């Protein structure tokens, strides 16, 4: 913002506040106006965008105690003072210097040190009229000026499989050693991130605080795996159970086993479904998927071996791999 704007623009009037407004009331008023005129809420509205820029510029100056003091001092000089290129004509640097008891003889336009000029307003060296704290916002909503958002803080936690499926409130420790609570929602997945709004770093200039972003890792379960909201489990059955059919027990997560009917002739890999025994969330409830796996005995002795040998002699002489080989050849 050019310094001339500090003479010409009444930032208090722009925000609709009095000159003795407190910092808290100033921030409250700005946030209300920013929400009203933000470009995201007024797509394509040039007037709203211009108004948003105007209130952001005003707040950027008045929210900074040092800038606000400088602004009040400059405004107190009156609208007759002007910063003009080269200092020519009525209302050049001479008008400003005269307010501080300086004369043209004390500061020549050829030799005046700009650092000396800025120091009259409490500025450090290297400043310019078009940038920095002397009249220009340092933060930004998409470059419009205004307060900047605080930084996000990241955290990691590892939870067990049951906690991930059931949900639980846990306590973590922040980077500065302070404990904070995190609600783990039921059905959280491995690698998922949980965002705690406004719990991160504070804004350096009165804007919104950042977030805490917690990345969740889930320990594997020895029996169950996740398939969306469904739970999967591999269930061994004997050869005779698969051939003749049987009623078997299947484990559930955190509950009593349920009984399932295995139909005669069930092959390995067939999936049996138990409705409603998966992960329960607000978005829905999954099922328990039991995959049948035929268990082959490692040792067969005595009568069992004799019976199997007789069966081998009596079983159909069909090659169960013949169709597979034929399809691969084609």
Strand pairing report for 212-218 and 153-159: parallel
CATH number at residue 231: 2.60.260.20
Planar angle of CA 16, 73, 21, nearest 5 degrees: 30
pLDDT average per 10 residues of sequence, the chain (330 residues): 63 90 90 84 83 86 86 68 42 42 38 38 38 41 66 90 94 79 93 91 86 93 95 95 95 92 95 95 94 92 90 87 90
Can you tell me the distance from the alpha carbon of 225 to that of 319, in angstroms, rounded to the nearest whole number?
34
110 and 57 co-located in one domain: yes
- 265: in domain: yes
DSSP state at residue 131: B
Provide CB contacts within 8 A for 188, sequence distance 6+.
Answer: 159, 164, 167, 194, 216, 218
Provide CB contacts within 8 A for 212, sequence distance 6+.
Answer: 152, 153, 154, 155, 174, 180, 195, 196, 199, 200
Residue 191's alpha-carbon distances to 55, 109, 184, 213, 216, in angstroms, are: 41, 64, 13, 12, 5
Between the two ends of the chain, the Cα-to-Cα distance in Å is 76
- 281: in domain: yes
Residue 145 confidence (pLDDT): 58
Residue 168 confidence (pLDDT): 93
Can you tell me the distance from the alpha carbon of 23 to that of 25, in angstroms, rounded to the nearest whole number?
6
Residue 56 confidence (pLDDT): 86
266 and 306 co-located in one domain: yes
Q: Which of 136, 135, 130, 182 is nearest to 159 (CA)?
A: 182
Domain that holds residue 271: 225-323
Q: Provide the CB-side half-sphere exposure for 194 (13 A, CA).
A: 24
Residue 174 confidence (pLDDT): 74
Can you tell me the distance from the alpha carbon of 39 to that of 52, in angstroms, rounded to the nearest whole number?
8
pTM here? 0.54
198 and 264 co-located in one domain: no
Residue 88 confidence (pLDDT): 41
DSSP state at residue 42: S
How many domains does the chain contain in total? Answer: 3
69 and 95 co-located in one domain: yes
DSSP state at residue 128: B
99 and 12 co-located in one domain: yes
179 and 262 co-located in one domain: no
182 and 258 co-located in one domain: no
- 292: in domain: yes
Residue 290 is inside which H or E element, if any? strand 288-294
Strand, helix or coil for residue 25: helix
Residue 93 confidence (pLDDT): 41
Can you tell me the distance from the alpha carbon of 153 to that of 308, in angstroms, rounded to the nearest whole number?
65
């Amino acid at each position: 913002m050019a310094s001339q704007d500090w003479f010409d623009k009444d930032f208090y009037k722009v925000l609709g506040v009095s000159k003795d407004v407190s910092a808290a009331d100033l921030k409250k008023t700005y946030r209300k106006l920013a929400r009203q005129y933000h470009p995201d809420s007024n797509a394509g509205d040039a007037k709203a965008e211009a108004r948003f820029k105007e209130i952001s510029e005003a707040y950027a100056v008045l929210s900074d105690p040092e800038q606000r003091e400088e602004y009040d001092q400059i405004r107190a000089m009156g609208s007759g003072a002007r910063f003009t290129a080269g200092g020519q004509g009525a209302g050049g640097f001479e008008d400003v210097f005269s307010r501080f008891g300086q004369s043209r003889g004390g500061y020549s336009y050829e030799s005046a040190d700009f650092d000396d000029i800025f120091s009259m307003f409490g500025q450090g060296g290297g400043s310019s009229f078009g940038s920095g704290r002397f009249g220009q916002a340092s933060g930004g909503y998409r470059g419009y000026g205004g307060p900047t958002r605080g930084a996000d803080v990241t955290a990691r936690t590892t939870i067990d499989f049951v906690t991930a499926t059931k949900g639980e409130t846990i306590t973590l420790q922040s980077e500065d050693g302070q404990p904070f609570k995190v609600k783990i929602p039921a059905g959280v997945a491995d690698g998922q991130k949980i965002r705690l709004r406004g719990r991160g770093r504070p804004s350096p200039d009165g804007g919104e605080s950042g977030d805490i972003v917690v990345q969740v890792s889930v320990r594997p379960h020895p029996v169950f795996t996740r398939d969306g909201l469904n739970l999967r489990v591999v269930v061994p059955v004997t050869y005779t159970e698969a051939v003749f059919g049987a009623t078997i027990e299947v484990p559930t997560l955190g509950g009593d086993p349920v009984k399932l009917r295995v139909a005669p002739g069930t092959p390995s890999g067939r999936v049996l479904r138990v409705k409603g025994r998966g992960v329960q969330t607000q978005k829905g409830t999954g099922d328990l998927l039991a995959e049948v796996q035929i268990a082959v005995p490692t040792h067969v002795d005595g009568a069992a071996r004799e019976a199997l040998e007789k069966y081998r002699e009596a079983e159909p002489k069909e090659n169960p791999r013949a169709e597979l080989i034929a399809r691969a050849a084609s």
